[in-house]
Amino acid sequence: MIRSLSRLACVALLVLAPLSVRAQEHAATTEHAAAPAADAPVDFITPHITDGRHLEIPWPNSHLAKEIELPQWAPVHIGPVTLDLSPTKHVVFMLMAATVVALLLITAGNASQKQHATEGRSRGFAGAIEAMALYLRNEVVLPNVGHHGEGFVPFALTLFFFILVCNLFGMLPWGATATGNVSVTATLAIVTAIVVEVAGIRANGLGYLNTIFYWNKDLPIVMRVLMFFVMTPVEIVGKLSKPFALTIRLFANMTAGHIVLLAIMGLIFSFKSWAITPVPVLMATAISMLELFVAFLQAFIFTLLASVFIGQIREAHH
């Protein structure tokens, strides 16, 4: 049952995240529709870090890029609610990330299985993916989730590789960082929170209520009632703060790196001189190396914290 829950969570993670991207496309469309004056400063940072209804693709022109507009579908009306399911830039890159993750893991898994059958061990690309998966399973997920935690391994691996690929897509010249969108990170955090709470219910039964309502049976009845009213709000805030922390940590780290990188490159245009070019380029190269490290680090931290939260609530009755 736990394995089924984990698989359903993996599907929900890949399906719900693209549907959460909403708020930013109108501002991006308006910004691209208005042509700036020749001498006015041009904001090239905001369009890069926000969502929009266009994609940049490589093109042999003076900018080495071309913008293509994404299709806009008629909104879906469900009672009083209107949903705009038209694809946006971040939706496209999330779907690409989900496709890459699926192909990557399925291909590596099949290759590793054949190599183990013929040579007794995996090697090359399949070996590298297997090493990453085994490290996450043996050193991150199982020690933190606790006993009978195998069912949560697929969910944790899906989280790690999906977030990692989304982060790396943002480092491509014509790419976009979907994890720099707070709607995306919030959806990832909400899916994780649902998995955490359902895992707590399955592990503790009615004892799960003790993770919400503080009732210490070792205290005298007067202190027990007093602490109930004092600590129960603290427990509820603690539950809400976990997905909030996951949301902001990933969003802020992935957005900040791009802002710093683009601001450094913008020094060339601010000073309007090619003489200072080597300095921003060297600084941008260093920041890019740091961003590459942060892309792996943030995927690892999100997976680690998700495993820790699951383990904490499963052992709450102790």
CB-based contacts of 134-143 (< 8 A; 24+ apart in sequence): 136/160, 136/303, 140/300, 140/303, 140/304, 140/307, 141/303, 141/307
Residue type at position 172: L
CA 33, CA 232: separation in Å to the nearest integer? 51
Per-run averaged pLDDT (10 residues), the chain, 318 residues: 48 47 42 46 74 84 82 89 90 95 93 89 90 94 90 94 95 89 95 94 86 85 89 91 94 91 85 85 91 94 95 76
Q: CB of 25 within 8 A of CB of 88?
A: yes
In the prediction, which pLDDT does 30 show? 42
Q: Note the pLDDT of residue 266.
A: 84
Every domain of the chain and the residues it spans: 2-26+48-52+88-314
Quick check: pTM over 0.85? Answer: no
Nearest to 159 by CA among 73, 87, 246, 225: 246
Q: What is the pLDDT of residue 316?
A: 67
Q: What is the pLDDT of residue 15?
A: 44
Please tell me the distance from the alpha carbon of residue 186 to that of residue 155, in angstroms, as a whole number. 17
CA dihedral 301, 307, 308, 310 (to 10 degrees): 140
Nearest residue to 310 (alpha-carbon basis) of 222, 242, 250, 213: 242
